[in-house]
Amino acid sequence: MPKQILTVLFTAAIACLFVAGCSKSAVVDHIGYVCPVNRFTTETFAYSTTTITFAQATDYKGKTQTLQMLINQPSADTLARRPLIIYCHGGGFTSGARNDAWPNKFCQSFAKRGYVTASIDYRLGIGPNGDEDVIEAQVRAVQDAKAAVRYFKQTAVEQGNPYRIDTAQIFIAGEASGGIIALQMGYLTSPTELSSITDHDLLSSLNGLEGIPTSIYSSRITGVISLSGAILDPNWLTNQSLPVIMVHGSKDASIPYISGIANPYTSTPLYGSYAIDSVAVSQKINASLYTFKGAGATPFIGSTTYADSTIKYVSTQLYGLIDCERLGKH
C-alpha cells in the first residue's frame, strides 16, 4: 500500500480511537420506498430453522466433504420475497462451525427482523506449506460461500423459490476469518488480482475463483458485512456498487484493526476494517465502520453489550440498503 495512504490511515485512526465507540461513516440513506413498519430494524417475528445440504467439495486432503447450512426464516411472514444474509463463521480456517453460538445469535436475530439467514459450512484445514496454503484455504472457503449463493439462485429458478428469496438482495457476512471470506468474496473479482499476493497458478489448481468450470447461476452479491474482518489487498476495493458494513475492536490482536500480520499467516499482511473503510471512502464505495475503542478480538462474542451494539449497528446500516419495493405485498 502506498505510504501516503498509510499516513492517512494512521492519522485518522488516532482521532477515532479517542471515542469509546465511533462510527466513521454516516448512516446510509434509505432508498426512498417505505418498508413495512419495524421491518428489518426490530425483532418482531418468530422464526423456523431447517438444515439442508447445498454442495459437495474436495478438501485440502483430497477428501469429498458435504457442505450444509442452517436456514432461518421469519414465521407468519407475508412478503413475497425477502432479502438473504449468508453467514460465514470464524475460526482461522481450521475450526468453527455453522451452529456456533455467535453465528446462531446473529442469524436468528436477523431472521426475527424479517430476513432469511443462512449459516454455512465451508471447507476447513490448512496444508503444511506456509502462507500459500493459508491462501488456498481462504480461496476454498470463498468458493463454498459462492456455492451457497448459487444454491439459492438455482432453487429460486428451478424449485419455485422455496425460501422466497429476493435473489437481487443477497448479503454475505462473517466474523474474523469469516469476515475475511466475506470481504474477499465481495472484492476479489479477477485471478490477476490474486497474483499480486501469491502464485498465479494457485487458482488454476483450485478451479478458479468460483471452484467450478462454469455455472449458469451467478454468485454475485449485493453487499458485505464484515465483523472484525480483513482483506489481503486494499487495491481490490474498486467495486463502487458493492457496499460494506464493518464492526471492529481497535485493539484486536487476532485480526488487525488497521494492518499487520495475523495468525495463521506468517509473512503476508492483512488490512483491517479501518484501512478498508479509508480506502473504500477514497474509492467512493459505500462503506460504514463502527469501532469499539479499546476492545480486542471479536468483542461481540463474549459480551452481551457488544453483541447488542453490533447487531443494532448492522441492522441500522443494512436497513438503508434494502429495496423494499422489490419485496412484494406486505
DSSP string, 86-145: EEE--STTTS--TT-HHHHHHHHHHHHTT-EEEEE-------SSTHHHHHHHHHHHHHHH
| Percent of the chain scoring above 90 in pLDDT | 77
Residue 13 has pLDDT above 70, yes or no: no
Report all structural domains of the chain as residue ranges with CATH numbers, in order of start: 3-327 (3.40.50.1820)
Q: Per the structure block, which three cell numbers stand in for 114?
A: 424479517
Residues in the chain: 330
**Mean pLDDT estimate for the chain:** 90
pLDDT band at 328 (very low <50, low <70, confident <90, very high): confident
Mean pLDDT across the stretch 168-174? 98
pLDDT tens digits, one per residue of 241-290: 999 999 999 999 999 999 999 999 999 999 999 999 999 999 999 999 99
How far, in Å, CA of 40 to CA of 27, rounded? 15
The confidence score (pLDDT) of residue 70 equals 98
The closest of 85, 83, 88, 123 to 103, measured between CA atoms, is 88
Pair 96, 102: CB distance under 8 Å: no
101-112 helix and 304-319 helix, angle to the nearest 10 degrees: 40
Copy the grid coordinates of residue 101. Answer: 453460538
pLDDT given for residue 192 in this prediction: 83
What pLDDT band is residue 11 in, cutting at 50, 70 and 90? very low
pLDDT over 90 (residue 19): no
pTM for the model stands at: 0.91
**In this predicted structure, what is the pLDDT of residue 18?**
45
